[in-house]
Amino acid sequence: MSQPLTESILATDFYQITMAQVYYRLGIHERPALFDHFFRRYPEYGGHQAGYCINAGLEPFVEWMRSVRFEPEHIELLRHMEGRTGRRLFQEDFLRWLERHGSFDALTLWAIPEGRVVHPMVPLTTVQGPLAVAQILETPLLNQLNYATLVATKAARVRYSANSSLVLEFGLRRAQDRGGHAGARAALIGGADFTSNVAASFAQGLPPKGTHAHSLVQVAMALGLGELGAFEAYAESYPDDTILLVDTIDTLESGIPNAIKVFEKLRARGHKPVGIRLDSGDLAYLSIQAARMLDAAGFEETIIVLSSELDELVIWQILTQIRQEAPRYGVDPDRLIKRLTFGVGTRLITSWGHPALGGVYKLVAIQEGEEWVPAIKISESPIKTPNPGKKKVWRLYDARGKATADVLGLEHEELAHEEQIILRHPFEPTKWRLLNRREVEIEPLQHVVLDQGRLVYDFPPLEEVRQQCRRDVERLDPGVLRLVNPHIYHVSLTPALWNLKKALIQEARGRPGTGDGR
């Protein structure tokens, strides 16, 4: 095989391929179709809902799209598939077509760039092209983009909570197998400064980061060298990069005193010790005591790395407690907070509390002759009815320069030409808002990435994506940034799109042959 199956175009759901054959049989497999990828709700981490998401995953996804196609060995696997009566499931004519045209080379793809703040119901990605292959793309697109956006979002929340402290991504051991690498990359986009994942770091051209594990101390203890021996050995190997994990035996009674002994030797030899790591216990209390002890020994510059089941709320709580309690021990809380680094593992890489973004990929239009016919799906709650047709997406900024709404409109609309911008709620008919054109800045959000398979977009380097993310977060209202009970950011429709949606719903409900005509 040219690539492992799990990296191939077969990394999709089976029904995509069975549907492709139905489209082939109907003669509409090459009919241009339009699919929107969007999510309906922000993640809710056990009750505290996010106020925004960070878009991520696009570059590796597009790279994957361009690297796969139905290879002869895939066709052979499908050729041997049988239905319940032993009859072949896939006919030869369809398989021949699939072998010839089964790639994503004919697709056009628009997307909101990585690192951008994004909101529900807004098309993050729009795919246009032959129905059958656009359909097959659904599963890998959702698989790769849902997760990256989920983790970038969680990382942005951790970054918000950690403020200017360094954040390290530590989660590979608790990730979903190979998913941990995409997770590390997404964490770097959303707010982690570095990751301990060596492969993911090198892939992004960043140095991996880390300290050492308890096992180093355990080995030294078992061999009679003691914790001090372990620390000395580490400092010997990394005299200018010494961070010591101090909680293997007893943090305050053994770990920190031993670390200070080693730091003193390093100092005597002209090296600058970097810091310590605390990985268990009451991290707020222990970091205050650690700071006190390190300060007393003249190591005011050393950092304190905290880890152990951290997330944005735990970090928030630790910082709050430090602000309250540090003065009692003669420790300046602001100085202490400045020397903290957060190692965030399980809860970042798994988006603990909300481990999947419910992103979907919905048909919104299909071409009939020269015209795009908008598509609708109505059977559920209003929030589950996608916005039909070929659309544009704009972000509006208010006079303060803060983002105030994302607006979806129809392809031919130009928001900039209006005097007054009318923003309609996506499904509640009584809710709308008026904005004066001259008081808002308008930014189109989607860019064309693939033009019939040809890459026409320059993926910015990771560092630019991260800066974009920071800029976007800064342009959010503080109420939207809140970790708990954030303001709800407005995602609105233009009146034209609103009217189209309403008309299609009514038509579908009343269309003959689809039910009882109600």
Site for a second copy in 7-66 (CB under 8 A): 7-8, 10-19, 21-23, 25-26, 28, 33, 35, 57
Q: Are strands 303-306 and 340-344 parallel, antiparallel or unpaired?
A: parallel
Q: Which uninterrupted H or E stretch holds 131?
A: helix 131-136
**Which member of 99, 105, 106, 254 binds a second copy (CB under 8 A)?**
254
Rounded Cα distance, 410 and 416, in Å: 13
Rounded Cα distance, 291 and 300, in Å: 8
Buried b / exposed e over 354-376, threshold 16 CB at 10 Å, is: beebebbbbbbbbbeeeebebbb
- How far apart are CB 461 and a second copy at their closest, in Å? 17
Rounded Cα distance, 391 and 375, in Å: 12
**Which member of 164, 177, 328, 428 binds a second copy (CB under 8 A)?**
177
The length of the chain in residues reads 518
**Which member of 49, 317, 321, 346 binds a second copy (CB under 8 A)?**
346
Rounded Cα distance, 206 and 199, in Å: 10
Rounded Cα distance, 344 and 194, in Å: 11
**Which member of 99, 105, 160, 249 binds a second copy (CB under 8 A)?**
249
Interaction pattern, residues 219-238, with a second copy; x per rule: CB under 8 A = x-xxx-xxxxx---xx-xxx
Find the binding residues for a second copy in span 408-427 (CB under 8 A): none
**Which member of 92, 282, 334, 368 binds a second copy (CB under 8 A)?**
368
**Which member of 198, 303, 442, 481 binds a second copy (CB under 8 A)?**
198
Q: Should residue 262 be labelled a site residue for a second copy when binding is judged by CB under 8 A?
A: no
Q: Should residue 241 be labelled a site residue for a second copy when binding is judged by CB under 8 A?
A: yes
- How far apart are CB 436 and a second copy at their closest, in Å? 37
**Which member of 373, 399, 416, 484 binds a second copy (CB under 8 A)?**
373
**Which member of 63, 96, 281, 474 binds a second copy (CB under 8 A)?**
281
Find the binding residues for a second copy in span 438-497 (CB under 8 A): none
Find the binding residues for a second copy in span 69-128 (CB under 8 A): 77, 81-85, 87, 89
Nearer to a second copy, 136 or 473 (CB): 136
Rounded Cα distance, 346 and 203, in Å: 21
Q: Should residue 371 be labelled a site residue for a second copy when binding is judged by CB under 8 A?
A: no
Contact at 8 Å (CB) between 389 and 374?
Answer: yes
- How far apart are CB 353 and a second copy at their closest, in Å? 9
Which two tokens mark 135? 């359909």
Nearest to 309 by CA among 403, 170, 408: 170
Q: What angle do CA 198, 201, 202 make, to 5 degrees?
A: 85
